[in-house]
């Protein structure tokens, strides 16, 4: 039995899951992206395909993997590579290694948290919103446009409006302010939503477990509270209403994400809105503040899945 970890050794969620797997005594193979220039991947076709990854001269057959936790970064943006031109041998090598390993994680019979194909839905917030609504959550009125006139109409209709990226690229969520240049949206389709008053709740779904955290913050985006001059958020573990828990499980299933970070807001009148779903959540921030055993749950899910693959009934 082998569990593959692919990412960066200093990535906090990756490090936390690795530690928990080691505590379980699970056999772990760590594929460190810092060694991408020393890494090659060979795929043998035919009736039975075989994929072998070699790092610094040491070969490993990926067909031995029963479960995998993957949090890859863009290898071409790692130190020593981000300044290389795309046409350079090193840049192309790093990009090709990423491409082949991502393809492997999508097609392998191993249990993967989470497959890139499923995580790709995060690249489009409007796509996610359809799944969110389908799971029974309220969704705020939303506009995605590159038309400044439509933005002006939306603001007149809803008044208090939030602006954010429509893609999976991380951005600061903030309110639209007087003096904002709406003409700028002509260069980039942007997402606007009616602001929903209430309390933020972050939910982590890990297989059949759910961990919910209430976030007390006066910032529009509590992730950047200190940077924006607000007090630090206060995080508290909470129990979700049973129907909200079921919606979270349903949403993660709809998106094909065994592990998911779901951003909710509970309004003063008890309505639950959902804004988006993170397919590769940085759960260690919430775990460190609340003591919730999220990394242990991820490790347990990997170990159980690997054991089932190794000894099927």
* Amino acid 173: pLDDT: 82
* Amino acid 252: pLDDT: 97
Query: Residue length, the chain?
Result: 313
Q: CA–CA separation, 171 vs 223, rounded Å?
A: 10
| Residue 197 and residue 287 in contact, taking contact as beta carbons nearer than 8 Å | no
Per-residue pLDDT of the chain (313 residues; tens, 9 = 90+): 799 999 999 999 999 999 999 999 999 999 999 999 999 999 987 667 789 999 999 999 999 999 999 999 999 999 989 999 998 999 999 999 999 999 999 999 999 999 999 988 888 888 899 999 999 999 999 999 999 999 999 999 998 998 888 776 777 788 888 888 888 888 888 899 999 999 999 999 999 999 999 999 887 777 877 777 788 899 999 999 999 999 999 999 999 999 999 999 999 999 999 999 999 999 999 999 999 999 999 999 999 999 887 666 5
Give the ranges where the chain is alpha helix by DSSP (H): 12-24, 89-107, 116-119, 125-134, 148-158, 242-254, 284-290, 294-310
* Amino acid 6: pLDDT: 97
Q: CA–CA separation, 165 vs 299, rounded Å?
A: 32
Q: Which pLDDT tens digit goes with each residue over 250-301?
A: 999 999 999 999 999 999 999 999 999 999 999 999 999 999 999 999 999 9
Query: Which of 287, 313, 309, 289 shows the shortest CA–CA distance to 298?
Result: 287
Torsion of CA 56, 59, 62, 68, to 10 degrees: -40
Residue 121: count other Cβ atoms within 10 Å of its Cβ: 19
User: Containing H/E element for 174?
Assistant: strand 174-175
Look up residue 175 and give its two tokens. Answer: 């309110």
Residue whose tokens read 């008053």: 197
Task: Give per-residue burial for 281-302: e unless 16+ CB within 10 Å, then b.
Answer: bebbbbbebbebebbbbbbbbb
Residue 113: count other Cβ atoms within 10 Å of its Cβ: 24
Query: Which of 17, 40, 10 shows the shortest CA–CA distance to 297?
Result: 17
* Amino acid 33: pLDDT: 96
* Amino acid 231: pLDDT: 84
194 to each of 142, 154, 160, 268, 299, how far by Cα in Å? 7, 9, 6, 16, 38
* Amino acid 84: pLDDT: 93
Here the contacts of 211-215 (C-beta below 8 Å, separation 24 or greater) are 211/237, 211/283, 211/286, 211/292, 211/294, 211/297, 212/237, 212/238, 212/239, 212/240, 213/237, 213/238, 213/286, 213/289, 213/290, 213/292, 214/238
């Amino acid at each position: 039995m082998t569990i593959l970890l692919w990412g960066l050794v200093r990535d906090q969620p990756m490090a936390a899951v690795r530690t928990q797997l080691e505590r379980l005594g699970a056999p772990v193979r760590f594929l460190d992206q810092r060694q991408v220039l020393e890494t090659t991947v060979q795929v043998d076709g035919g009736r039975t395909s075989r994929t072998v990854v070699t790092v610094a001269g040491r070969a490993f057959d990926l067909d031995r993997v029963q479960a995998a936790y993957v949090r890859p970064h863009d290898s071409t943006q790692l130190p020593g590579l981000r300044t290389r031109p795309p046409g350079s041998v090193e840049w192309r090598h790093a990009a090709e290694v990423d491409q082949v390993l991502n393809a492997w994680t999508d097609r392998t019979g191993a249990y993967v948290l989470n497959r890139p194909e499923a995580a790709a839905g995060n690249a489009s917030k409007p796509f996610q919103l359809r799944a969110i609504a389908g799971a029974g959550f309220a969704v705020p009125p939303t506009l995605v446009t590159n038309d400044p006139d439509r933005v002006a109409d939306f603001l007149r209709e809803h008044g208090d409006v939030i602006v954010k990226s429509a893609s999976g690229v991380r951005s600061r969520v903030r309110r639209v302010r007087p003096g904002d240049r709406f003409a700028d949206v002509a260069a980039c389709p942007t997402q606007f939503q009616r602001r929903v008053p209430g309390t933020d709740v972050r939910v982590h779904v890990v297989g059949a477990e759910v961990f919910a955290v209430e976030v007390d913050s006066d910032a529009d985006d509590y992730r950047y509270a200190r940077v924006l001059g607000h007090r630090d958020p206060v995080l508290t573990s909470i129990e979700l209403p049973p129907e909200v828990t079921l919606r979270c499980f349903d949403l993660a299933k709809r998106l094909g994400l065994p592990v998911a970070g779901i951003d909710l807001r509970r309004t003063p009148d008890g309505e639950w809105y959902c804004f988006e779903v993170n397919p590769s959540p940085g759960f260690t921030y919430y775990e460190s503040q609340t003591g919730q055993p999220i990394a242990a749950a991820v490790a347990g899910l990997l170990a159980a899945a690997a054991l089932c693959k190794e000894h099927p009934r």
